[in-house]
C-alpha cells in the first residue's frame, strides 16, 4: 500500500503535475523555456491581484531572504515584525542577518495578531517604514488578519511585507496593497518544491539601492529581467505551470479554494470528534494545515511513526513541533476527502 502524504511539504502531486515533471528538460535560455517562464509569472500575478513577480530557484526561506535583502537596501532599517509562531520567529532572525533592526511584537502560539497592539506600535513608526508578518503561520495552522493589517499600516504610511508562503493558492489572496510578499511552489499551489516567489512592484522599487544585495537575491534586477537571470531548472517550472491550471480561470480558482475550505472543515470536525482540539480556533483557522497536540501525553515522534506504520505521512518531526508535542495534518495539493477519511478511521483505533 502506498503512503498517503498529509505533510505541509512535500505535498501530494496530481497526475498532471507528475507528468509535467517528467517532460524533457528545457534549456533556460531557449524560447520554449522563456515563454513558459513568462506565462507562469503572468498567471501568478493574476492570482494575487496584479503584482509583479520574480522567480528564484529555492525555498520559501530564500524568498524571505530576498525580502530582507531588499529592505536592507532601502532607507528604513527599522521596522516591525509580528511573531506568533515558528515562521514569524524565523523572519526576525532573517531580518537581523541582513542588518535590519526590527521591533518585535509576539503572541503565544495559536493566538492571532492583536490588531490593537499592532496599531499602537505603528503609531510610533516613522512613515515609510515597514511591518512584516506571516499570513498563514504554518507551524500552528493559523491564518492572520491580512486585511486588518493593511488597513492599519496604510493609514499610517507604513509598508506591509508578507510571508504568504503557505497561503498563496490556499485561499483568495489580494496582494495589490502589499509592498513585498513571498510564496513558494511546493505548498498550497500543489507543485513540487524548488521555486521561490517574490511579489512586488517595479515602480515602487525603482529607488532601491541594490549594490550591496547578494547577486542571487537581487529582486530589482530579477523583476526587470525577461527570463531567469541565471541557471533555472525546468522540471519544477513545468510542474508549477501544470499546477496553475487549477487557477487559470476565476471559476476554477473559486472551485479550488472551495475544495480546500471544505477539506479543512472536515479535518477539524473529525479531530474534535476524536477529542483532539485544533490549536487554532475556527475563526482564524487555515484551510490547509491543522496543528494539534499529541493525545494521551505521547510524543510527536512516536505519534508520527504510528501514523506512518498505518500508511500516513503527517508533520511532527520538526524540532519546533516536537518540543511542544504537536503534530499537524496538511491537506495541500491533490489530497482528497477519501484520503482524510481513511486517516481518521485509522487514527480512531489508536488515538
pLDDT-derived band at 207, boundaries 50, 70, 90: confident
| Cα→Cα distances 111→13, 44, 82, 134, 285, Å | 31, 30, 12, 13, 10
- Run of H or E residues at 220: helix 219-223
Task: Give the pLDDT confidence score for residue 350 in this predicted structure.
Answer: 76
26-35, 199-208, 286-295, 320-329: segment of lowest average pLDDT: 199-208
Q: Which residues contact 35 (CB under 8 A, 6 or more apart)?
A: none
Mean pLDDT for 203-232 is 91
Task: Give the pLDDT confidence score for residue 1 in this predicted structure.
Answer: 55
Q: Which residues contact 290 (CB under 8 A, 6 or more apart)?
A: 141, 264, 267, 268, 271, 278, 280, 328, 329, 330, 331
What are the domain boundaries of the chain?
4-9+250-347, 15-247
- 211 pLDDT higher than 90: no
Relative to beta strand 195-200, strand 52-57 is antiparallel
* pLDDT 10s digits, 1-25: 589 999 999 999 999 999 999 999 9
- 296 pLDDT higher than 60: yes
- 208 pLDDT higher than 60: yes
DSSP state of 193: S
DSSP state of 249: S
Judged by DSSP in three states, 51 sits in coil
Judged by DSSP in three states, 109 sits in coil
Kindly write down the DSSP assignment for every residue of 277-317, as one continuous string. -BSS-GGGB-SSEEEEEPGGG--HHHHHHHHHHTTEEEB--
| Euclidean distance between CA atoms 94 and 133, whole angstroms | 12
| Euclidean distance between CA atoms 198 and 221, whole angstroms | 12
pTM (predicted TM-score): 0.96
How wide is the angle at C-alpha 113 spanned by C-alphas 111 and 115, nearest 5°? Answer: 135
Task: Give the pLDDT confidence score for residue 206 in this predicted structure.
Answer: 67
**CA neighbor of 56 nearest in space, from 177, 185, 166, 175:** 185
Q: In a 10 Å sphere around its CB, with 0-12 CB exposed, 13-18 middle and 19+ buried, how is residue 118 labelled?
A: buried
Show the beta-strand stretches assigned E in 62-138.
79-83, 103-106, 130-134, 136-137
Mean pLDDT for 290-316 is 95
Task: Give the pLDDT confidence score for residue 209 in this predicted structure.
Answer: 81
* pLDDT 10s digits, 128-155: 999 999 999 999 999 999 999 999 999 9
**CA neighbor of 26 nearest in space, from 228, 238, 293, 271:** 238
* pLDDT 10s digits, 158-193: 999 999 999 999 999 999 999 999 999 999 999 999
* pLDDT 10s digits, 66-121: 999 999 998 788 999 999 999 999 999 999 999 999 999 999 999 999 999 999 99
Mean pLDDT for 306-326 is 97
In the chain, what's the furthest Cα-to-Cα distance? 60
Q: What percent of the chain has pLDDT over 70?
A: 99
Relative to beta strand 130-134, strand 79-83 is parallel
Q: Which residues contact 274 (CB under 8 A, 6 or more apart)?
A: 295, 344, 347, 348, 351
Relative to beta strand 103-106, strand 142-143 is unpaired
Judged by DSSP in three states, 175 sits in coil
pLDDT-derived band at 249, boundaries 50, 70, 90: very high
- 351 pLDDT higher than 80: no
Sheet with 180-184, edge to edge strand ranges? 52-57, 195-200, 180-184, 159-163, 130-134, 79-83, 103-106
| Euclidean distance between CA atoms 278 and 262, whole angstroms | 16
Q: Is domain 4-9+250-347 in CATH 3.90.1150.10, yes or no? A: yes
pLDDT-derived band at 26, boundaries 50, 70, 90: very high
| CATH classification for the domain delimited by 15-247, as one of 3.30.930.10, 3.40.640.10, 3.40.50.12500, 3.40.220.10 | 3.40.640.10
pLDDT-derived band at 212, boundaries 50, 70, 90: confident
| Euclidean distance between CA atoms 9 and 331, whole angstroms | 10
Task: Give the pLDDT confidence score for residue 33 in this predicted structure.
Answer: 98
Task: Give the pLDDT confidence score for residue 2 in this predicted structure.
Answer: 83
Amino acid at each position: 500500500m502506498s503512503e498517503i502524504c498529509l505533510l505541509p511539504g512535500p505535498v501530494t502531486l496530481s497526475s498532471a503535475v507528475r507528468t509535467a515533471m517528467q517532460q524533457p528538460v528545457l534549456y533556460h535560455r531557449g524560447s520554449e523555456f522563456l515563454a513558459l517562464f513568462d506565462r507562469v509569472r503572468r498567471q501568478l500575478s493574476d492570482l494575487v491581484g496584479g503584482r509583479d513577480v520574480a522567480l528564484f530557484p529555492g525555498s520559501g526561506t530564500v524568498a524571505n531572504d530576498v525580502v530582507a535583502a531588499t529592505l536592507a537596501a532601502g532607507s528604513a532599517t527599522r521596522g516591525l515584525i509580528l511573531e506568533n509562531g515558528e515562521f514569524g520567529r524565523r523572519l526576525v532572525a532573517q531580518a537581523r542577518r541582513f542588518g535590519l533592526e526590527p521591533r518585535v511584537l509576539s503572541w503565544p502560539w495559536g493566538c492571532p495578531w492583536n490588531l490593537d497592539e499592532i496599531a499602537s506600535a505603528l503609531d510610533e513608526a516613522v512613515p515609510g517604514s515597514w511591518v512584516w508578518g506571516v499570513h498563514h503561520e504554518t507551524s500552528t495552522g493559523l491564518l492572520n488578519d491580512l486585511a486588518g493589517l493593511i488597513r492599519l499600516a496604510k493609514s499610517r504610511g507604513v509598508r506591509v511585507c508578507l510571508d504568504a508562503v503557505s497561503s498563496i493558492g490556499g485561499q483568495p489572496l489580494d496582494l495589490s496593497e502589499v509592498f513585498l510578499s513571498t510564496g513558494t511552489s511546493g505548498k498550497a499551489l500543489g507543485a513540487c518544491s524548488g521555486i521561490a516567489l517574490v511579489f512586488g512592484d517595479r515602480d515602487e522599487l525603482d529607488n532601491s539601492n541594490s549594490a550591496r544585495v547578494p547577486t542571487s537575491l537581487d529582486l530589482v534586477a530579477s523583476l526587470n529581467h525577461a527570463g531567469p537571470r541565471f541557471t533555472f531548472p525546468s522540471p519544477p517550472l513545468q510542474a508549477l505551470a501544470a499546477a496553475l491550471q487549477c487557477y487559470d480561470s476565476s471559476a476554477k480558482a473559486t472551485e479550488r479554494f472551495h475544495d480546500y475550505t471544505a477539506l479543512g472543515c472536515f479535518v477539524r470536525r473529525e479531530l474534535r470528534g476524536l477529542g483532539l482540539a485544533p490549536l487554532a480556533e475556527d475563526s482564524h483557522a487555515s484551510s490547509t494545515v491543522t496543528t494539534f497536540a499529541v493525545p494521551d501525553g505521547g510524543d510527536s515522534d512516536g505519534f508520527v511513526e504510528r501514523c506512518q506504520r498505518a500508511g500516513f505521512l503527517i508533520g511532527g518531526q520538526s524540532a519546533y513541533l516536537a518540543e511542544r508535542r504537536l503534530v499537524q495534518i496538511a491537506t495541500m495539493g491533490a489530497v482528497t476527502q477519501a484520503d482524510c477519511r481513511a486517516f481518521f478511521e485509522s487514527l480512531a483505533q489508536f488515538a
